[in-house]
Homo-oligomer: A and B are copies of this chain.
Amino acid sequence: MSIEKQTYRAGPYKNVFAQAVKTGNVIHLSGQVGMDSKGKLGADMVEQTEIAYANIKHVLSEMGASLDNIVDETMFVTDMGEFMTKGEALLGARAKAYGGVPEVCQTVVQVTALVMPELKIEIKCVAHV
């Protein structure tokens, strides 16, 4: 069956996977992490969260969408203790990115590693337009 896809590719792995794929009114995003396009890594989970949302915002803008279009978030964290301890600051950074109360579902689980040892959080989103 044929399918029309719109993709956004960027970064060193752009031939491996797309940062976003849109089909119909659904946009799937690859998990975004706390490293910016220049390779700068957030110092802790809060800074990495800020950078991850900046990345998500950029990817969505390349697809003609914004954070308002997100319907679902899965957060993979490497240290639930840090997630809880810094929860107020982390969720504050998230609320600031969204510009208010996010209209999204959220699931948070602790995994043992992300694609680089320095990464503390990866956020996988689904958006609808």
Contacts and interface: CB of A to CB of B under 8 A. Distances in A.
B1 A80 contact: no
A103 B5 contact: yes
A72 B103 CA distance: 21
Interface residue range, chain A:
35 or more
A124 B74 contact: yes
Contact of A31 (B20, B71, B107): B107
A3 B91 CA distance: 23
Interface of A: 1-3, 5, 7, 15-21, 23-26, 28-31, 64-66, 68-69, 71-74, 76, 80, 84, 91, 101-115, 122, 124, 126, 128-129
Contacts of A105: 17-21, 28-30
B28 A126 contact: yes
A66 to B, nearest CB: 8
A21 B72 contact: yes
A73 B17 CA distance: 9
